[in-house]
């Protein structure tokens, strides 16, 4: 009787491990390093690739075009990226990897510079 259920249970278990282990990269840099996070080469490209398709002018609020819009909504963006906001972003997933979320957090910690 046990042999009958072994393979299906094993398959489901391995599938769950793969699904949950691949969602995030778990490689997290700390903000304590002296490396500057640049809006123009790191933050805005991330926003353009993952957010701007919905958060362009005249579409879903908040509008995330340009430094002023991203900087003024930075804390809201960060909480949504972490799944702490009303909705996990990007909408429909998958969630951004931990390194990108941490990079955005570091940019905020460094003063949200337009660099």
- pLDDT tens across 76-92, in order? 999 999 998 778 899 88
Nearest to 52 by CA among 90, 97, 86: 90
pLDDT at 13: 43
Confidence at residue 94, expressed as pLDDT on a 0 to 100 scale = 87
pTM value > 0.75: no
Radius of gyration of the chain (CA): 18
Q: What is the pLDDT of residue 25?
A: 44
Handedness of CA 100, 105, 111, 112 (dihedral sign): positive
Q: Which of 69, 44, 40, 71 is nearest to 57 (CA)?
A: 69
Q: Maximum Cα–Cα distance for the chain, whole Å? A: 65
Q: Print pLDDT tens along the chain (115 aa).
A: 555 654 444 444 444 433 444 444 444 446 777 899 999 999 999 999 999 999 998 787 899 999 999 999 999 999 999 998 778 899 888 899 999 999 999 999 999 999 9
In whole angstroms, give the CA distance from residue 97 to residue 26.
Answer: 7
């Amino acid at each position: 009787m046990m042999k009958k259920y072994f393979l299906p249970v094993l398959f489901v278990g391995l599938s769950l491990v793969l699904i949950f282990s691949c969602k995030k990269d778990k490689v997290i840099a700390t903000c304590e390093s002296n490396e500057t996070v640049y809006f123009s080469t790191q933050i805005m490209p991330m926003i353009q690739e993952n957010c701007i398709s919905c958060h362009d002018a005249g579409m879903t609020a908040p509008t995330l075009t340009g430094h002023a819009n991203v900087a003024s909504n930075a804390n809201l963006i960060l909480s949504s990226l972490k799944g702490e906001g009303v909705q996990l972003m990007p909408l429909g997933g998958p969630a951004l990897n931990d390194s990108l979320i941490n990079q955005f957090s570091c940019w905020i910690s460094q003063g949200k510079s337009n660099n």
